[in-house]
Amino acid sequence: ADRMTGIIRDLLALSRLEETDEIGRGAPIDVTAITAMLKKDVLARASHPKDVRVRADAEVQLVGDEAEIHSALSNLVDNAAKYTPPEGAIEMRWWADADGGHFSVTDTGIGIPAEHLPRLTERFYRVDAGRSRATGGSGLGLAIVKHVLQRHGGELSIESTLGAGSTFTAHFPPHRVARVRAQSSAAV
């Protein structure tokens, strides 16, 4: 029943996201604060990679819809935590350069065979049903991520090596980046 509820919630979220194209400007989002929350979420899991790191530039904010961005980044971090063994590591990064803003999650987990990469963001797509059933996934997370990024003019890139780990990076265009004076240390 919990799983069914999760699938229905995700499908509703997806259909809402599909109703409109790129959203208007939105508000500046403190991505560094979100990474701190996501790190806590990982450490609160019953089982999680023991090494969880964050490198975030607190002076860089993202202009958009906070609830959508939180959900997208959370999906990426949730996957990294799910598909990485307890002795492994995950690292979140948030930074900006001339190309825009970038949020990446690197893990030392099970990795993904190259032939699956192009189809990974399709709804209900899972690399193999066996590995996902053990972790309760339905294959909707990355479809949601893809739509949220599209609505912010962004895109997802995926690099992975089977058995070694993966890096998922969300790229946002320069007009979605705002620079602020950091209030506190960038290290989380």
> Under the criterion CB under 5 A, does residue 121 sit at the interface with Mg ion?
no
Instruction: Tell me whether residue 50 or residue 131 sits nearer to ligand ATP (CB atom).
Output: 131
The C-alpha torsion from 93 through 66 and 4 to 160, rounded to 10°, is -20
Instruction: Tell me whether residue 61 or residue 79 sits nearer to Mg ion (CB atom).
Output: 79
Give CA separation, 125 vs 97, 118, 129, 149, 163, in Å: 32, 11, 9, 18, 20
> Under the criterion CB under 6 A, does residue 83 sit at the interface with ligand ATP?
yes
> Under the criterion CB under 6 A, does residue 167 sit at the interface with ligand ATP?
no
> For residue 69, which of 173, 167, 147, 122 has the smallest C-alpha distance?
147
Count, residues in the chain? 188
> Under the criterion CB under 5 A, does residue 141 sit at the interface with Mg ion?
yes
Locate 91 and state its tokens: 């690292």
Locate 33 and state its tokens: 């604060």
In whole angstroms, what is the distance from residue 165 CA to residue 86 CA? 13
> Under the criterion CB under 6 A, does residue 79 sit at the interface with ligand ATP?
yes
> Under the criterion CB under 6 A, does residue 88 sit at the interface with ligand ATP?
no
Instruction: Tell me whether residue 100 or residue 167 sits nearer to Mg ion (CB atom).
Output: 167
> Under the criterion CB under 5 A, does residue 166 sit at the interface with Mg ion?
no
> Under the criterion CB under 6 A, does residue 139 sit at the interface with ligand ATP?
yes
Which residues lie near ligand ATP (CB under 6 A)? 10, 75, 79-80, 83, 107, 109-112, 120, 125-127, 131-132, 137-142, 166
